C-alpha cells in the first residue's frame, strides 16, 4: 500500500493526490492528515487533485471527510487543481462536494487560506 506524502510548509500541509484512491490509501491519508494537523498545529490543508482525471463519489466523500476532520481540528481545507472536465462531470453526476472549499491552483488556495486566517483573527 502506498502512503501519500504530506508536505509541511509553515502552518500549511500540502497533499498531492496522484494515484487512484483505494479504500486503504484513503483511510491511511485521513489518519495521517489528522495526526499531522495535530502534531504541527497546521491551520490549513491544501489537497492538489490536478493529476486526477476522475473524481467519483468515493473520492468526493473522502475529500468531504478530510475537510470535516480538519475543521474539527481547527484547520481549513482547500481542494485545488481540479481539471475542468472533472468539474463538469461532478456537476453532471450531481456531486456538489458539499463543505469542500476549492481554488483554481495552489497559489490561489494559499491566498484563500491566508484570507480565511485573517477572517478568523478578526472574529476573535
| Residues at the interface with a second copy (CB under 8 A) | 2-5, 7-10, 14, 16, 18-19, 48, 50-51, 81, 105-107, 110
Residue 88 CB, shortest distance to a second copy, in Å, is 20
Question: Measured between alpha carbons, how far is 6 from 99 in angstroms, rounded to an integer?
Answer: 22
Q: For the chain, percent helix, then strand, then coil, each to nearest 5?
A: 50, 20, 35
Residue 84 CB, shortest distance to a second copy, in Å, is 15
Residue 83 CB, shortest distance to a second copy, in Å, is 11
Question: Measured between alpha carbons, how far is 97 from 37 in angstroms, rounded to an integer?
Answer: 22
Residue 18 or residue 41: which is nearer to a second copy going by CB?
18
Residue 60 or residue 81: which is nearer to a second copy going by CB?
81
The continuous run of DSSP H or E covering 80 comes out as strand 76-80
Residue 51 CB, shortest distance to a second copy, in Å, is 5
3-state secondary structure 42-70: CCEEEEECCCCCCCCHHHHHHHHHHHHHH
Residue 74 or residue 111: which is nearer to a second copy going by CB?
111
Residue 32 or residue 56: which is nearer to a second copy going by CB?
32
Please say whether the beta carbons of 77 and 109 come within 8 A: no
Amino acid at each position: 500500500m502506498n502512503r501519500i506524502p504530506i508536505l509541511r510548509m509553515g502552518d500549511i500541509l500540502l497533499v498531492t493526490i496522484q494515484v487512484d484512491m483505494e479504500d486503504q490509501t484513503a483511510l491511511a491519508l485521513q489518519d495521517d492528515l489528522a495526526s499531522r494537523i495535530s502534531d504541527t498545529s497546521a491551520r490549513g490543508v491544501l489537497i492538489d487533485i490536478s493529476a486526477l482525471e476522475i473524481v467519483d463519489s468515493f473520492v468526493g466523500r473522502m475529500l468531504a471527510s478530510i475537510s470535516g476532520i480538519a475543521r474539527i481540528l481547527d484547520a481549513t481545507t482547500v481542494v485545488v487543481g481540479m481539471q475542468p472536465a472533472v468539474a463538469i462531470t461532478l456537476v453532471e453526476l450531481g456531486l456538489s462536494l458539499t463543505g469542500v472549499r476549492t481554488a483554481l491552483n495552489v497559489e490561489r488556495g494559499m491566498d484563500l487560506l491566508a484570507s480565511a486566517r485573517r477572517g478568523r483573527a478578526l472574529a476573535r
